[in-house]
Structure 1
Amino acid sequence: MSLHDIPSPAPPATPSIDPPADGSAVPAAPARPPAAEPTSSAAEGGRVRRSERVNRLRAGVLGANDGIVSVAGLAVGVAGATTDTRWLFIAGLASLVAGALSMAMGEYVSVSTQRDTDRSLIARTRADLAVQPEVEHARLVEALADTGIPGEVVGPVADSLERHDALSAHTRFRHGVEDDAVVSPWGAAVTSLVSFTLGGLVPLLAILASPAVLRLPVTMAAVVAALALLGVVSARLGQSAARRSTLRTIIGGVLALLVTYGIGAALGVTVV
């Protein structure tokens, strides 16, 4: 027997559906559910969370650093003029409360201004797309070409982006603004308030708990340790090298303490 004599396997038979006995119509086979279309909601959500995280990290690091240096500077400056613990407590507490509120308000105003600017830019871009789409398309092509996309494909890339989401393409690639990633000013304000308070408590407690002759070295040691810890934590969260930035922060904080203490001591004011 040769290979040609071997019969090929028959295709699987399709099951037949006999019509019902009463002559009614045969029910149609259930249709397959349509495949889910890929969406960019997950990516957009990731960008929003990343923007919020970066914004709060920036506000937290800035608030904690400002709290440590500002409260320590004022407390050490007062300690250079008087050894009265009561006045040190009053000055330090006033600096802590005023600085935390000022920091929170400053962050709220700053981020609110940036948010309003971004939203105004988005609204203006939306209006321009409705009035002069050809001009805006040419500007998008130019912006994409500036990023290094080859000239022979930049046009189709721009067309594809505009078909997907024209407003997002123009705001993101031309202006660096994303509608869904506009950060909240309240998050930055609360983060600054809390971080400034926690940072300011370190030198305040150190200067109040130490004896008069050791206030300056104890406070400086506490400030250096707090700034070093802050530098390491912020570098870990931001996934960056910590040594150089931490060293700069420590040197700046120590210089601020020495200057304010020297001013307080030079004035020779006795607070009673």
Structure 2
Amino acid sequence: MDFKQIGEVASALLTQFGLKLIGAILLWIVGQKLIELGVKLLKRAFKRQNVEPTLINYLLNITGVTLRIVLIVAILGFFGIETTSFAALLAAAGVAIGAAWGGLLANFAAGAFLIIFRPFNVGDFITAAGVTGTVTEIGLFTTSINTPDNVLTIVGNNKIFADNIQNFSFNPYRRVDLLAQLSHDVDHNQAITLLKARISQIANVLNNPAPDVEIFTFNLAGPVLAVRPYCSNDHYWQVYFDTNKAIRETFGEAGYPVPEQRYTVNGSSGDSAQPIIPTSSEIG
């Protein structure tokens, strides 16, 4: 046995394999840089064409994944592996993965439908799958929603697509719903007039449609007013809190009494019923 000859052959094979390995690593690094450059150029082109940000992110994700798969196949071909066999193997693996990860593919399909039907876009304020907040990204499998308390929530696309979706940003304005309790002794027409005038002066409250102030219901304390100003979605909470302040300040300046629950007790020994106002200790 000629160990010298074996050593020379082994050295040649290792050298050849090492060179191929180094070439494959260089090919991967260069390919990754080219893919990143291509994705950036594609993103700029989409932005110049004023394509929706939602659609841009989705297309860039698909393009990046596809190009990386092509790069892996090219590297395997560089090593001399038959790529047609690899393609068949990849397809078979895809079927197996699809059977095992049906939920993941369902999220992918739902993401495609979200892009096609566009129930919402990036930047919209929505409620979907029980989560309320601003959409920051629609990905291949998940959608990122930033809630009002600044918590990033990742939701599966299939869960969103299968549930009801409320898009608060779709319409140019929305309604703020509040209630104002009046005492029995207060003239409700005067209260309605005062509130309408005060609410119309709140910043960012729309004049068209004008704020609605009407009797909503009645309870033991008196009539309850429905107070409904309109504003854009961006100013919702500012109008909400300012309207609450306006109700408090308007009723206080008008000198309205504090609403108290009243009911009548009929006694067996008395000839007439007397109105009773319960004390806090009696209520408790």
TM-score using structure 2 length? 0.24
Structure (1/2) with the larger helix percentage = 1
* Larger relative contact order, structure 1 or 2 (CA cutoff 8 Å, min sep 6): 1
